[in-house]
Each structure stands twice: as C-alpha cells, then as structure tokens.
C-alpha cells in the first residue's frame, strides 16, 4: 500500500483493502481511499505482463470497455486501475458484439506481445500451425495418462491432425485469449469491462469464439453470442465451429500439462472427451 499512497495516489490515504476473487494467475486487491475512491491493485505473480496490459488499455480506449489505468510500475509488476462495478453477463448478444470490437483492432503481423518497450509489437511468431505436434507433445509430457484412455488420446491426435486451420494463418487481429464470462462485467445487458488481458496476442478471433463456447452456456446464450458477433462486424466462415474447436485445442492440450489438481485440468479432460466422442 506504500506504493499506492506515495506514488500512485499521492495525497490520498488507503482506508481499506481486500482480496478479489477470480485472479488465478495474479493477485488483485480492492483498495478504497479516504475520498471514496475505489481501485484495483494488480500484482503479477508469474510472468510480468504489466507493459502489455497498460498498452492495451490505452489502445482500446473508445473501442472496448476496459478499466482506466491510474498508475503502473512495470519494474515492480504493479497496475492500479479504477474499480468497475458489474455482474457476470447473462445475455450473449453484448458478449458477441464486444468480441467483434476486440477483433476490429489489428496489428502488422501475427504473434505474441512483449518484445518491445510499448508491449504491443507482435513478435511475428505464427500462433496457428503445428497443432498435431503441439497436442502430441502435451500428451507425451503432461498428465493425460490415467485420465484419458489410449483410445481417447489417439482420437485426439487424429482430430488435431485432421483439423485444417491453415487458411487462418497470417491473421493479425487482437485475441483476448481468455474470453469467457469470468473476465467480463456487465451492467444490465451491456458489457462495461473486459478484464485480464495478460494472455492477449495477435491472430484470429476464432480463438476467442472457441474459448467462449467451450463450456455449456445458458439456453439461447450461444445463438445470441454469435448473432451479436456477426452484427458487430465479426466474420464467421461456414466452418467456424470446426475451426474454433480446433484452435481451442491449443489451450485444452496445454491444460493437460498442468498438475492434476489444477482447476482446469479436469475440465480439459471432460471437454476433450466430448470432442473425440
């Protein structure tokens, strides 16, 4: 809190603070000041993605609702932003429309962020490609044995090898990479904040479509989501479902390399079984 009071918000005093739930890879604290202000202090516990998130907040201003950044310290891995009040979205339309706006932001090349001082220059590495080799490596080095049968693993490898995602190579639109209800805040039916951009990269929005539709959603949510995405200018090719499911394999296979008690390991196993079935 010393950094908050002396650097980020000089002249203000912190009167209360409490941890916020939902931050799985970072530490998020709600901070209240003596003038009634409410802020979120984000501290990076693993990879320091401070520069990326701050640069994206500036780039997305007026395009996608993101919390306003008040202060940051890349060297310390700290970001202070305005607290946004809201609830998880219940309607898919605004979720899809917001995703289309995210995809309206493009870059010069595909790739991952973090190789420049501003944090927003893609490194040129193609995120789409070698899916079958990636899945094979995750099965070989991960913890799938004992949770996925040999038949299920072979079916997963065949699914990855048969997925034709080559037409998506070269895509260079903004991908959130963790686009699901836990990272969205709504007021009524309107999305008021998209949170947690530390995994963002430049590629195809179908990564985010696959992520959003990975888990079961309330009745009508998926149809509304797709309608909002199209109405917002998002492109859905005829085989969008197969493409988005294939792209989601990058995440699902990676989850198999996590410890078996990780919150996403069991979910990945369940989803993979559904896909190969």
For residues 268 and 140, membership in a common domain is answered with yes
Rounded to the nearest 10 degrees, what angle do helices 131-141 and 150-162 cross at? 160
For residues 215 and 104, membership in a common domain is answered with yes
Residue 115 lies in a domain: yes
Q: What is the band of 218 on the pLDDT scale with cuts at 50, 70, 90?
A: very high
For residues 107 and 233, membership in a common domain is answered with yes
Q: Tell whether the torsion through CA atoms of 182, 184, 111 and 238 is positive or negative.
A: positive
Q: For residue 236, give the CATH number of its domain.
A: 3.90.1200.10
The first and second tokens of residue 63, run together, are 């395009």
Q: What share of the chain in percent tops pLDDT 70?
A: 97
Contact in structure between 240 and 207 (CB atoms under 8 Å)? no
Share of the chain residues as helix, strand and coil, in percent rounded to the nearest 5: 40, 20, 45
The pLDDT of residue 114: 77
pLDDT tens sequence across 74-109: 999 999 999 999 999 999 999 999 999 999 999 999
Parallel/antiparallel/unpaired status of strands 26-33 and 14-19? antiparallel
Identify the burial level of 274 via C-beta atoms within 10 angstroms of its C-beta, where 0-12 means exposed, 13-18 middle and 19 or more buried.
exposed
Q: What share of the chain in percent tops pLDDT 90?
A: 90
DSSP 188: T
What are the CA-CA distances from residue 199 to residues 112, 196, 261 (Å)? 9, 8, 22
Residue 133 lies in a domain: yes
Determine the straight-line distance between the first and last CA of the chain, rounded to whole angstroms.
51
Total domains in the chain come to 2
Identify the burial level of 37 via C-beta atoms within 10 angstroms of its C-beta, where 0-12 means exposed, 13-18 middle and 19 or more buried.
middle
Residue 187 lies in a domain: yes
Q: Return all residues near 238 (Cβ < 8 A) that are at least 6 apart.
A: none
Of 58-67, 118-127, 262-271, least confident by mean pLDDT is: 118-127
The pLDDT of residue 24: 66
The first and second tokens of residue 76, run together, are 């310390």
For residues 69 and 110, membership in a common domain is answered with no
For residues 6 and 127, membership in a common domain is answered with no
For residues 30 and 128, membership in a common domain is answered with no
- Average model confidence (pLDDT) for the chain? 94
User: Among candidates 62, 59, 28, which has minimal Cα distance to 44?
Assistant: 28
For residues 147 and 31, membership in a common domain is answered with no
DSSP 196: -
Residue 159 lies in a domain: yes
The pLDDT of residue 95: 98
Domain that holds residue 51: 2-82
Residue 226 lies in a domain: yes
For residues 122 and 247, membership in a common domain is answered with yes
Residue 87 lies in a domain: no
Largest interatomic CA distance in the chain: 64
Task: Give the containing element (helix H, strand E) for 29.
Answer: strand 26-33
Integer Cα distance of 123 and 21 in angstroms: 32
For residues 266 and 141, membership in a common domain is answered with yes
Residue 122 lies in a domain: yes
pLDDT tens sequence across 10-32: 999 999 999 998 666 789 999 99
pLDDT greater than 60 at residue 174: yes
The first and second tokens of residue 13, run together, are 């005093």
Of 151-155, 174-178, 215-219, least confident by mean pLDDT is: 215-219
């Amino acid at each position: 809190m010393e950094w908050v009071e002396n650097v980020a918000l000089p002249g203000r005093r912190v009167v209360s603070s409490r941890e916020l739930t939902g931050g799985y890879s970072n530490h998020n604290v709600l901070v209240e000041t003596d003038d009634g202000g409410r802020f979120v202090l984000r501290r990076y516990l693993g990879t320091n993605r401070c520069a990326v998130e701050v640069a994206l907040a500036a780039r997305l201003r007026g395009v996608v609702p993101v919390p306003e950044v008040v202060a940051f310290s890349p060297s310390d891995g700290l970001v202070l932003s305005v607290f946004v009040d809201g609830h998880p979205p219940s309607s898919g339309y605004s979720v899809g429309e917001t995703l289309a706006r995210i995809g309206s932001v493009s870059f010069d090349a595909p790739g991952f962020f973090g190789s420049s001082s501003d944090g927003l220059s893609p490194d040129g590495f193609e995120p789409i490609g070698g899916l079958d080799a990636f899945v094979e490596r995750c099965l070989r080095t991960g913890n799938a044995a004992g949770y996925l049968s040999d038949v299920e693993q072979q079916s997963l490898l065949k699914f990855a090898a048969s997925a034709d995602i080559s037409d998506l190579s070269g895509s260079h639109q903004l991908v959130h990479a963790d686009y699901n209800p836990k990272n969205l805040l709504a007021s009524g039916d309107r999305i008021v904040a998209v949170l947690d951009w530390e995994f963002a990269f430049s590629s195809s929005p179908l990564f985010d479509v696959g992520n959003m539709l990975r888990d079961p959603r309330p009745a009508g949510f998926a149809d509304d989501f797709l309608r909002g995405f199209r109405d917002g200018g998002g492109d859905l090719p005829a085989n969008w479902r197969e493409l988005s499911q294939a792209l989601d394999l990058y995440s699902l296979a990676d989850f198999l390399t996590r410890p078996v008690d990780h919150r996403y390991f069991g979910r990945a196993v369940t989803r993979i079984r559904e896909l190969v079935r």
